[in-house]
Amino acid sequence: MAPRPARRRVAVVGTGAIVTGSHLPALAAHADRAELVAAVDVDPARLDAFRAQAPGDVAGYSSTGAMLDAVRPDLVLVGTPPSLHREQTVAALGAGAWVLCEKPLCLSLAEYDDIAAAEEASGAYASVIFQHRYGSGAAHARQLIASGELGAPLVAHCQTTWHRDAAYYAVPWRGRWSTEGGGPTMGHGIHQYDLLLHLLGPWAEIRAMASRLVHDTESEDVSTALVRFESGALATVVNSVLSPDETSRIRVDCADATVELTHLYGHRNDDWTYTPARHVAPARAAAWRTPAADVPSSHTAQLGAVLDAWDAGVRPPGSGPQARTTLEFAAALYKAAFTGRPVRAGEITAGDPFYGAMHGDHPGWAPGGRARHAAKA
């Protein structure tokens, strides 16, 4: 047998809750293939606390540039606020490191294309954390849909109905276009509709609405959309931070079965159900049961997929066209909501105001032009 590749040397940029709560356990689960060697944070106390918690001798740095120069890591995990993602990702790619970055990978399609250019120049890759794709339940559902076993997809619902209070938005970078990139469309529901796109494939057209109903933010606190997929399937998408009874849900009605996922922040096999149509034989439906192996959707599962791609010498999942498609969907939802007209896949290109920013410089939504009313043309 060929020897297992040496452990990848990993650095984290940002040492807040998402890194300590999700990235550290993922690294521990893959300790045979990845070793944490460095951490970056502008807050010395937080950095020291993280280094004390992390296993081994982790070097600490106050800037990404200094860390990259000194350590030259193989893989950089980015867990900072969204406005920093593009700059830190491009810097890491320039140093030859692969990147696994929290969502959103960047704040606009223009910033994404900067990252794509950095990938091309360096030969390294940048993936975005969309961990819901990587659970065994999601993989199983995607295979059943893609194979045609459930019949043609016809109708779908994608629901992220969460609740965030005023204290949540007291954090300075939240609810602002320049620092968060948008509201629940970018920061909350993006996980769920990324999974919807993963299950149903390319989308063709979107119509949408958005509003600020409660929170005094630049961006929306709720958005809704109607989506037509290339397959002809129709879907609804709801992204809310106004919902006391919180849930995350996807339902896909196919010709021969309904597949449903209901969870909150992560799913296991038991969160997926399959309901056969009346004409489906019981033996056929029994074969749809979720697999015996139960892999939760998690950073651990996605990090494993990235390391597998590295070992195989191929582009990792969650990068390249996959990452851009989900970001384009967000931009199209905002454009459709703010202009009041349908948006087709591929129409937002350089020169379009929604290419450079999710608010598209639209009156009433762009910074400095806030108005507490539903978006209108």
Q: Alpha-carbon distance 53 to 50, whole Å?
A: 5
Taking CA atoms, 257 is separated from 153, 194, 201, 283, in Å, by: 9, 22, 18, 14
| Residue 54 clears pLDDT 80, i.e. is over it | yes
Cβ contact 329:206 at 8 Å: yes
Q: At what angle do helices 320-339 and 109-122 cross, to 10 degrees?
A: 170
pTM (2 decimals)? 0.95
pLDDT for position 5: 57
| Residue 375 clears pLDDT 90, i.e. is over it | no
User: Percentage of the chain surpassing pLDDT 90?
Assistant: 94
| Residue 2 clears pLDDT 90, i.e. is over it | no
CA 77 to centroid of chain Cα atoms: 14
Q: Alpha-carbon distance 213 to 132, whole Å?
A: 28
Give the tokens for residue 195.
């999974």
The stretch 164-170 carries a mean pLDDT of: 97
The stretch 288-295 carries a mean pLDDT of: 92
Tens-place pLDDT, residues 31-46: 999 999 999 999 999 9
Q: Alpha-carbon distance 53 to 317, whole Å?
A: 29
C-alpha closest to that of 247 among 258, 238, 234, 235? 238
Q: At what angle do helices 64-71 and 85-94 cross, to 10 degrees?
A: 20
In eight-state DSSP terms, residue 82 is G
| Residue 376 clears pLDDT 60, i.e. is over it | no
Q: In 62-101, which ranges are continuous DSSP H helix? A: 64-71, 85-94
pLDDT for position 371: 46
Tens-place pLDDT, residues 332-353: 999 999 999 999 999 999 999 9
User: Percentage of the chain surpassing pLDDT 70?
Assistant: 96
- What length is written for the chain? 377
The amino acid at 288: W
| Residue 257 clears pLDDT 80, i.e. is over it | yes
Give the tokens for residue 12.
């984290």
Maximum C-alpha span of the chain:
64
pLDDT for position 223: 98
- Categorize the per-residue pLDDT at 199 as very low, low, confident or very high, splitting at 50, 70 and 90: very high
pLDDT for position 130: 97
pLDDT for position 142: 98
- Categorize the per-residue pLDDT at 374 as very low, low, confident or very high, splitting at 50, 70 and 90: very low
Cβ contact 190:240 at 8 Å: no
The stretch 294-311 carries a mean pLDDT of: 97
Q: DSSP string of 92-117?
A: HHHTT-EEEEPSSS-SSHHHHHHHHH
| Residue 87 clears pLDDT 70, i.e. is over it | yes
Q: Alpha-carbon distance 219 to 104, whole Å?
A: 15
Cβ contact 141:259 at 8 Å: yes
Q: In the chain, which ranges are continuous DSSP H helix? A: 17-18, 24-29, 44-53, 64-71, 85-94, 109-122, 136-147, 166-169, 177-180, 184-187, 190-200, 282-286, 299-312, 320-339, 353-356
| Residue 1 clears pLDDT 90, i.e. is over it | no
| Residue 52 clears pLDDT 50, i.e. is over it | yes
| Residue 149 clears pLDDT 90, i.e. is over it | yes
Tens-place pLDDT, residues 106-145: 999 999 999 999 999 999 999 999 999 999 999 999 999 9
The mean pLDDT value of the chain amounts to 95
